[in-house]
């Protein structure tokens, strides 16, 4: 079954078109890495899927247009670099806000139990009563992941989830995502600038530069030709990867 289908999708922001003629379809259970240069329209694509920007063309998400989809079916992990660290709240409350989709001023017993379960699932149970402002980048990432998973979504959208976390934290993150996927059969779309992670963890790669430059299995979508078309250059990074080396980032 297809979880997502876009047909000729276009977004206009005044004169500017961050997305033009975008078409692709994602089967259930896929792990899609979305790659492309800065300003390529990756976050705009997520805004379309979350029903936050108007678009032309057709989008079917779980069989419906985005604004008609039950919001609990879609989990979203934002870029944490946009987070205001002075916000006075506890980790547990952030996770409960994923159950209610509103800020909880009092947390009920059942909500608390569900939030703790989600925190445990991402290995962050001990962070439950910590203020958000005192978490490291990697810890905050886990709490946001618990918030996204607490309703067991069928589609998970992650915007650069590995930014600011170390290599070990990054491996943990992919293990958690793969475990959730194995348990739930969920579909994942993840924006990343890390081609190596895309190559190793994704079932499909979408190479975007305001239009679809490539879409398919990582070996095909991350071909030299697609990357050159999307990024305009490869430097020596691609050759290093082809030789089996490390450090493959644009
Ligand atoms: N509200 C807006 N009004 C005008 N232009 C916008 C608006 N929002 C985004 N843009 C522009 O649309 C383009 C696509 O932005 P988007 O954030 O989708 O790119 P991205 O691929 O996620 O980039 P990055 O890798 O830098 O996060 C950018 O050139 C951006 O400046």
pLDDT tens digits for 65-95? 999 999 889 999 988 765 667 778 899 999 9
Q: Are 185 and 225 members of one domain?
A: yes
Residue 4's CATH number: 3.40.50.300
- Tell me which residues of the chain have a pLDDT lower than 70: 81-84, 233-250
Q: In what order do the strands lie in the sheet with 212-216?
A: 74-77, 155-159, 187-191, 31-35, 204-208, 212-216
Look at the chain and report how many structural domains it folds into. Answer: 2
Q: Are 49 and 69 members of one domain?
A: yes
Q: pLDDT value at position 91?
A: 93
Q: Are 52 and 174 members of one domain?
A: yes
Distance, CA of 79 to CA of 32 (rounded, Å): 17
Domain of residue 9: give its range: 1-73+153-234
Tell me the Ramachandran region of residue 57: left when phi exceeds 0, alpha when psi lies from -120 to 50, beta otherwise.
left
Name the one residue in this structure whose structure tokens are 């678009």.
Answer: 55
Q: Are 158 and 229 members of one domain?
A: yes
- 179, containing H or E segment: helix 167-184
Q: pLDDT value at position 81?
A: 62
Q: pLDDT value at position 190?
A: 97
Is 44 inside a domain boundary? yes
Is 248 inside a domain boundary? no
Q: pLDDT value at position 240?
A: 44
Give the torsion sign (CA, 220, 225, 229, 234). Answer: positive
Reported ipTM: the value is: 0.91
Q: pLDDT value at position 243?
A: 45
Q: Are 120 and 2 members of one domain?
A: no
Q: pLDDT value at position 83?
A: 61
Q: In what order do the strands lie in the sheet with 2-13?
A: 16-27, 2-13, 56-61
Q: Are 45 and 109 members of one domain?
A: no
Query: Is the CB of residue 187 below 6 angstroms from any atom belonging to ligand 1?
Result: no
CA 104 – ligand 1 centroid, Å:
31
Q: pLDDT value at position 87?
A: 75
CA 114 – ligand 1 centroid, Å:
35
Q: Are 163 and 59 members of one domain?
A: yes
């Amino acid at each position: 079954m297809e979880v997502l289908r876009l047909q000729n999708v276009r977004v206009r922001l005044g004169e500017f078109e961050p997305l033009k003629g975008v078409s692709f379809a994602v089967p259930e259970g896929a792990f899609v890495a979305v790659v492309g240069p800065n300003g390529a329209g990756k976050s705009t694509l997520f805004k379309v899927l979350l029903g936050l920007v108007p678009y032309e063309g057709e989008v079917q998400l779980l069989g419906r247009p985005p604004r008609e989809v039950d919001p609990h079916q879609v989990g979203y992990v934002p870029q944490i670099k946009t987070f205001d660290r002075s916000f006075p709240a506890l980790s547990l409350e952030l996770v409960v806000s994923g159950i209610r989709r509103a800020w909880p001023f009092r947390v009920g017993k059942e909500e608390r139990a569900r939030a703790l379960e989600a925190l445990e699932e991402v290995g962050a149970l001990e962070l439950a009563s910590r203020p958000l402002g005192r978490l490291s980048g990697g810890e905050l990432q886990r709490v946001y992941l618990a918030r996204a998973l607490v309703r067991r979504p069928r589609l998970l959208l992650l915007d650069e989830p590995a930014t600011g976390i170390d290599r070990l934290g990054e491996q943990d993150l992919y293990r958690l995502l793969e475990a959730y996927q194995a348990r739930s059969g969920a579909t994942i779309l993840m924006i990343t600038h890390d081609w190596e992670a895309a190559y190793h963890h994704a079932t499909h790669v979408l190479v975007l530069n305001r239009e679809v430059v490539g879409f398919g299995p990582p070996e095909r979508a991350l071909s030299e030709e697609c990357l050159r078309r999307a990024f305009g250059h490869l430097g020596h990074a691609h050759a290093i990867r082809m030789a089996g080396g490390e450090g493959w980032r644009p």
